[in-house]
């Protein structure tokens, strides 16, 4: 009897621990995670290069929303300074992260290669694509301190590895030109 009681108690303890693990997993990866707001990035028609969005900027553009989606209008410099706080958490990048060229009164959608699940095999090497979208903190911006930043590259597959995408101090300071 003692052996069977030990086995029953051990199995009960394992089931309780497994249940606690499942509750933690649900909370950590679904129920308790912060969800990012959807974003729409509108770039000047034909823009090629690195894009930087700097958050929490007093002199930055005012917050803009449309149907609960953040709108970022990227200037010709490719540097946007916004009063928005950083958009952190998890996001379905396929549905909630969109990039467009502004042409007259219409928007032209850009393809995106955000993660390994996106397929570049279907893309023409000359087509313009959004690469390497990421959000981070800790980028020291020319004496401005450590800023929260979103950044990505807009270019063709053909030129992706052949260009320099460095932000200069002049571009950072003349962001709204």
Q: Vertex 16, ends 12 and 19: CA angle to 5°?
A: 140
79-114: b (≥16 Cβ within 10 Å) or e: bbbbebebbeeebebeebbbbbbeeeeebeebbbbb
Backbone angles phi, psi at 84, to 5 degrees: -60, 150
pLDDT, mean of residues 93-98: 82
Separation of alpha carbons 42 and 109, rounded Å: 9
Q: Vertex 164, ends 161 and 170: CA angle to 5°?
A: 160
Range of lowest pLDDT (47-61, 78-92, 126-140): 126-140
Mean of per-residue pLDDT scores for the chain: 79
Closest C-alpha to 74, from 115, 111, 37, 107: 107
pLDDT in tens, 23-56: 565 555 555 566 778 999 999 999 999 999 999 9
pTM, 2 dp:
0.73
**Interacting residues of 35 by C-beta distance below 8 A, sequence separation 6+:** 89, 90, 91
Spans of all domains in the chain: 1-33, 38-173
pLDDT of residue 24: 61
Q: Are strands 97-103 and 79-81 parallel, antiparallel or unpaired?
A: unpaired
Residue 82 has pLDDT above 60, yes or no: yes
Residue 131 has pLDDT above 90, yes or no: no
């Amino acid at each position: 009897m003692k052996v069977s009681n030990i086995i029953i108690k051990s199995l009960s303890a394992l089931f309780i621990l497994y249940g606690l693990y499942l509750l933690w997993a649900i909370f950590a990866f679904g129920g308790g995670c912060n969800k990012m707001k959807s974003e729409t990035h509108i770039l000047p028609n034909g823009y090629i290069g690195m894009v930087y969005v700097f958050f929490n900027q007093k002199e930055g553009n005012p917050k803009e929303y449309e149907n609960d989606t953040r709108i970022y209008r990227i200037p010709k410099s490719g540097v946007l300074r916004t009063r928005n706080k950083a958009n952190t958490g998890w996001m379905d990048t396929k549905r909630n992260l969109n990039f467009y060229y502004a042409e007259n009164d219409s928007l032209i959608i850009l393809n995106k290669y955000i993660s390994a699940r996106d397929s570049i095999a279907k893309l023409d090497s000359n087509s313009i694509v959004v690469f390497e979208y990421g959000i981070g903190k800790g980028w020291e911006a020319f004496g401005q301190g450590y800023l929260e930043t979103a950044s990505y590259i807009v270019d063709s597959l053909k030129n992706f590895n052949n260009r320099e995408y460095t932000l200069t101090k002049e571009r950072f300071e003349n962001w709204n030109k």
